[in-house]
Amino acid sequence: MGALSLAAATSASAAMTVGTFLAKAAPLRANPFTALTNPDYQVLKAEADAATRELRAEGAARQAAGKPPIACMPDGEKIGILQMLGGLDALSPADKKLPLKQGYAKVLSRTYPC
């Protein structure tokens, strides 16, 4: 899995669901000019980065074990936060109950299938 551009970290034990992530992101998306000053910005940034790092580590472990990758992102390709949010928005209601990492893995596998 190639580099993914997102943001900072929280512990895996405090993993947020896709639905919660999208609900907290909605006000920031509605008013992007004040997003950086919104207290939820850092929380969302940390959650997105934690999911990204965990997926990278999982991808490396899968590769080392000879298992197929989660997604086949071209080298040098990056997924931006707006693309990530759009992919999460498109998930089914059941998938929106998943932890962010699992929902994001679904987005990546649909965006960059192997």
Whole-number pLDDT of residue 77: 87
Name the helix (H) or strand (E) containing 105: helix 100-111
Spell out a b/e string for 85-110, using b for 16 or more CB atoms within 10 Å of the CB, else e: bebbeebeeebbebbbbbbbbbbbee
- Would you give per-residue pLDDT tens digits along the chain (114 residues)? 443 333 333 334 457 999 999 999 999 999 989 988 999 999 999 999 999 999 999 999 999 999 999 999 888 888 888 899 999 999 999 999 999 999 999 999 999 999
Spell out a b/e string for 11-24, using b for 16 or more CB atoms within 10 Å of the CB, else e: eeeebbbbbbbbeb
